[in-house]
């Protein structure tokens, strides 16, 4: 009983930190248990593991703070194109559009993707060259470089559209999942994880 209390105090005392990942908490608990047993080889191994995992966590935080830099390709018409992986299946060439509230996909692209729209809510949307019949869908995932978001709302055009929008638009339903900066001069998009 006294030993259990001692281990609990070690875990809750100098080893515990608020807001830590489960991996770090487990490392700290292993270190507390090794200290309680007093076997120096176990203490050393637990300290090494904790140090490695803290270093990995610090590296990840630094990468998250720096963000993901995605090179963009100008299309010659004042737009920038991004190579986006939709639903971990098909690459799309989407125009980065910070004024579009959602990801917009063309009818030609959704045929390649095999996206089912029969049960989707339908309506009309106005874009650059006119008014089109469209449907609201939820994409399983949208990946741009190393940045990925799950369950992204999108609008899909249900009829042929202007070639001006390529495969579609990369709008705020994806971009707002990050802190984003569009660097037009540097032709890049910088995405940082939200806190």
CATH 2.40.70.10 fits 68-193, yes or no: yes
What angle do helix axes 22-37 and 2-10 make, rounded to 10 degrees?
Answer: 140
Phi and psi at residue 100, in whole multiples of 5°?
-85, 130
Q: What pTM, to 2 d.p., does this model score?
A: 0.66
pLDDT of residue 16: 47
Q: What average pLDDT does the chain have?
A: 81
User: What confidence tens digit (pLDDT) does each residue in 95-124 have?
Assistant: 999 989 999 999 889 888 888 888 888 888
Using CB atoms within 10 Å of the CB of residue 52, give its burial: 0 to 12 exposed, 13 to 18 middle, 19+ buried: exposed
- What are the start and end residues of each CATH 2.40.70.10 domain in the chain? 68-193
């Amino acid at each position: 009983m006294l030993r259990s209390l001692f281990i609990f105090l070690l875990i809750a005392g100098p080893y515990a930190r608020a807001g830590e990942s489960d991996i770090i908490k487990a490392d700290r608990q292993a270190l507390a248990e090794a200290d309680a047993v007093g076997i120096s080889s176990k203490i050393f191994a637990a300290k090494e593991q904790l140090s490695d995992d803290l270093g990995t966590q610090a590296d990840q935080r630094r990468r998250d703070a720096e963000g993901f830099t995605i090179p963009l390709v100008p299309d010659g018409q004042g737009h920038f194109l991004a190579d986006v992986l939709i639903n971990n299946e098909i690459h799309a060439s989407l125009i980065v559009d910070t004024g579009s509230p959602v990801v917009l996909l063309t009818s030609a692209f959704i045929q390649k993707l095999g996206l089912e729209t029969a049960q989707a809510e339908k309506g009309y949307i106005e874009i650059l060259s006119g008014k089109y019949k469209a449907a609201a869908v939820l994409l399983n995932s949208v990946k741009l470089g190393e940045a990925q978001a799950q369950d992204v709302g999108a609008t899909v055009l249900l009829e042929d559209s202007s070639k001006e929008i390529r495969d579609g638009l990369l709008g705020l339903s994806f971009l707002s999942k990050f802190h984003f900066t569009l660097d037009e001069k540097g032709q890049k998009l910088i995405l940082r994880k939200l806190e």
